[in-house]
Amino acid sequence: MNVDIQRLMGEIERLATFSDAPAPAVTRVLYTPTDLAARAYLKSLFAEADLELREDALGNLFARWVGAEPDLPAVGTGSHTDAIPHAGRYDGVVGVLGGLEAIRALQAARFRPRRSIELLMFTSEEPTRFGIGCLGSRALCGAWTAEMLGRLRDSEGKSLDQARTEAGFSGGLETVRLPENYYSAFVELHIEQGPLLEQENLPLGIVTAIAAPASLIVRLSGQGGHAGTVLMPDRRDALLAGAEIALEVDRAARASGAPDTVGTTGIFKVHPGAINSIPSRVELGIDIRDIDGSRRDAVVSRVVAAVGEICERRGIGYEIEWMNADPPAQSGEEVVRALEASAQELGLPYRKMVSRAYHDSLFMARLCPTAMLFIPCKNGWSHRPDEYASPEHIEQGVRVLARTLARLAE
Ligand code: GLV
Ligand code: MN
Ligand code: MN
Ligand code: MN
């Protein structure tokens, strides 16, 4: 089987030029003109490979290589191409363009799949625009209903419905959910986004479970005022309550009893943001994860209790908006076995591992047996412009993916 790694690297490079940040950074946010231009480029590549294209009402993009028995549930592969602000060029992209290259390699080898093989580009795996990640896959598996999606607003108050309509995606959101038995299996190729494979000098990781993410927005309202004239006993400073909450997130995650618990306050917006003005309003974005869902929930509960206590003590009003609290996902054994057999055939060593980042596979696992294949990335860096995966590792990942798809589609 011939993987054309030069063509693939060229396409990865070209896709990175669709960006709202100067190179090497990549910023590609849902439904922006840049995102739509990148989608048009991808569609042209998929069509050149003779794949049947379909887009749903959210903009999930399906490209199908029709199998000899087209009525059988298909084998799915794919990932996302949206990129958080100032990200790199490999996160998600390797699974989409690498999936395409795997299909082209199988086509060139004159493989004839019995089941259709479908490449998926998910809408908005990243939470950048609407505050919630895995938008497309949440809707595909029915974890989020049309009504829940209908409530989403971006930071400018624009609804998801309006934004998708302006981007040219119409039709009812209730049509996005996939029917049962649509896929027989799903497999996602992705960079590891962590350091383990590189540290252990391994080219491949086979994911057996995906950690459970939860996120919440906490809005605090205190009393603004002049930084010189309001004396300390009279202050109700929303930033200080926020600072205490952020420290509590860190403490609660560290105290969970397991190194698998992580807590991050990644958003801290201060209003009015003037050096001589007491912060009156603060918004925190908090992300808490664990491979054990109930341990994660215990940490979330501790944080929520602390928000109440801190705000009461400081005379601060608060509101908590739950964004998500998803259970972890277990990989499908048959997909893991197919990945292992393919890696073994190619003589490539691997380890089994947990994904601490979430991926659309977290939700695809609700639809069908699902697993992920990780390749190393330099220093474990991701979500930054210097994210890097070598052509050699990408090629090995694509080879294993191609064999795995062939196995699953036979
Ligand atoms: C996905 O990008 C994540 O935050 O894990
Ligand atoms: Mn990402
Ligand atoms: Mn990703
Ligand atoms: Mn991600």
pLDDT tens digits, one per residue of 39-81: 999 999 999 999 999 999 999 999 999 999 999 999 999 999 9
- The best mutation among 210, 264, 359, 374 to test binding of ligand 1, ranked by most ligand atoms within 8 Å of the C-beta, falls on 359
How far, CA to CA in Å, does 104 sit from each of 10, 95, 239, 367?
15, 14, 54, 26
Residue identifier of the C-alpha nearest atom 1 of ligand 1:
358
Write the secondary structure of 157-203 as one string of H (helix), E (strand) and C (coil): CCEHHHHHHHCCCCCCHHHCCCCCCCEEEEEEEEECCCCHHHHCCCC
- The best mutation among 193, 291, 381 to test binding of ligand 1, ranked by most ligand atoms within 8 Å of the C-beta, falls on 193
CB atoms within 10 A of CB 10: 12
Q: What are phi and psi of 266, to 5 degrees?
A: -95, -15
pLDDT tens digits, one per residue of 245-258: 999 999 999 999 99
Q: Domain map of the chain by residue range? A: 5-211+328-409, 213-325
pLDDT tens digits, one per residue of 291-335: 999 999 999 999 999 999 999 999 999 999 999 999 999 999 999
CATH topology of domain 5-211+328-409: Aminopeptidase (3.40.630)
- Residue 190 CA: which ligand is closest? 3
Residue identifier of the C-alpha nearest atom 5 of ligand 1:
357
Ligand 1 neighbours by CB, cut-off 6 Å: 126, 133, 357-358
Q: Whole-angstrom Cα distance, residue 112 to residue 361?
A: 26
Q: Which residues of 34-49 are buried (b: 16+ CB within 10 A; e: fewer)?
A: bbbebbebbbebbeee
CATH for 213-325, options being 3.30.420.40, 3.40.190.10, 3.30.70.360, 3.90.550.10? 3.30.70.360
Instruction: Please tell me whether 190 is known to bind a ligand.
Output: yes
Atom index in ligand 1 nearest the CA of residue 126 equals 2
Residue identifier of the C-alpha nearest atom 2 of ligand 1:
126
Question: What are the strands of the beta sheet with 262-271, ordered from one edge?
Answer: 262-271, 281-290, 212-221, 317-325
Please give the chain's pLDDT, 410 residues, in tens: 899 999 999 999 999 999 999 999 999 999 999 999 999 999 999 999 999 999 999 999 999 999 999 999 999 999 999 999 999 999 999 999 999 999 999 999 999 999 999 999 999 999 999 999 999 999 999 999 999 999 999 999 999 999 999 999 999 999 999 999 999 999 999 999 999 999 999 999 999 999 999 999 999 999 999 999 999 999 999 999 999 999 999 999 999 999 999 999 999 999 999 999 999 999 999 999 999 999 999 999 999 999 999 999 999 999 999 999 999 999 999 999 999 999 999 999 999 999 999 999 999 999 999 999 999 999 999 999 999 999 999 999 999 999 999 999 99
Question: How close is the Cα of 5 to the center of ligand 1, in Å?
Answer: 27
Which residues fall within 8 angstroms of residue 315, CB to CB, at 6 or more apart?
A: 222, 223, 236
Question: How close is the Cα of 14 to the center of ligand 1, in Å?
Answer: 24
